[in-house]
Amino acid sequence: MPTIEQARGWYSSRDPVHGFDHVLRVLVLAERIGRREGADLEILRAAVLLHDTCRDGPGGLAGGNHQEASAEFARDVLARDQWPPERIDRVLHCIRTHRFRSSSAPPQTREAKVLFDADKLDAIGAVGVARAVAFAALAHQPIYAAPSATFREEGRLEPNEPHSAYHEYVFKLRQIPDRLQTPTGKRLAMNRLRFLNQFFERLVNESEGRL
């Protein structure tokens, strides 16, 4: 079983959005949800610790198809630890299906659904706000810009339109609770969503001079 200290070395210390702090928060959420949902906690813990390893880590990828690269990295790690092939495959399924923006098949197993929910819960609430702002800053994008009608209707940026933290809220963050897979995850999302909505409503009003 991969340890927390082993996993720490797989993640960049330079990424405030998808770094090891994110992994640790997802681990706590996944264990909480997994116990309620009857998940295999060994499969789940391994999947959490390995799920973003190749976003900006050993595989050198920044986003993109990182779930596939992370799954292959996980296969090598678990094979070296002599995990049975069928259990390795269960971990890989969790990793391959954890992304919100993905054309992969949706999560099918209990553990995959728990990882999906725990990972998405970390994108909403107070932590989600902080991550959205940090991501915009790292990408040299504004915190707020008014989305175009094209973006609101199709999720597609107009030429020269920035992708602000507010754009990410409109396109993804506010939709997360509807995509969650487990009853426990959906329940935990409600308070986080309330805070998220209040923050971005306030951001719009302050940015446009109404408050």
Q: What is the average pLDDT value for the chain, to the nearest integer? A: 92
Q: What confidence tens digit (pLDDT) does each residue in 145-163 have?
A: 999 999 999 999 999 999 9
- Residue 79 in any domain: the answer is yes
* Cβ(145)–Cβ(167) below 8 Å: yes
Query: Domain range holding 20?
Result: 1-104
Q: What confidence tens digit (pLDDT) does each residue in 85-132 have?
A: 999 999 999 999 998 765 567 899 999 999 999 999 999 999 999 999
Instruction: Identify the CATH number of the domain in which residue 29 sits.
Output: 1.10.3210.10
Is there a single domain that holds both residue 94 and residue 156?
no
- Residue 96 in any domain: the answer is yes
Is there a single domain that holds both residue 136 and residue 96?
no
Instruction: Identify the CATH number of the domain in which residue 211 sits.
Output: 1.20.58.1910
- Residue 113 in any domain: the answer is no
Distance CA 193, CA 198 (A): 8
Is there a single domain that holds both residue 90 and residue 168?
no
- Residue 109 in any domain: the answer is no
12, pLDDT greater than 90: no
Based on its alpha-carbon atoms, the radius of gyration of the chain, rounded to whole angstroms, reads 18
- Residue 115 in any domain: the answer is no
Report the range of poorest mean pLDDT among 27-31, 58-62, 100-104, 183-187: 58-62
Distance CA 201, CA 211 (A): 11
Distance CA 13, CA 7 (A): 12
Number of domains in the chain: 2
Terminal-residue alpha carbon distance, the chain: 52
Q: What is the pLDDT, as a whole number, of residue 102? A: 57
* Cβ(75)–Cβ(32) below 8 Å: no
Is there a single domain that holds both residue 18 and residue 91?
yes
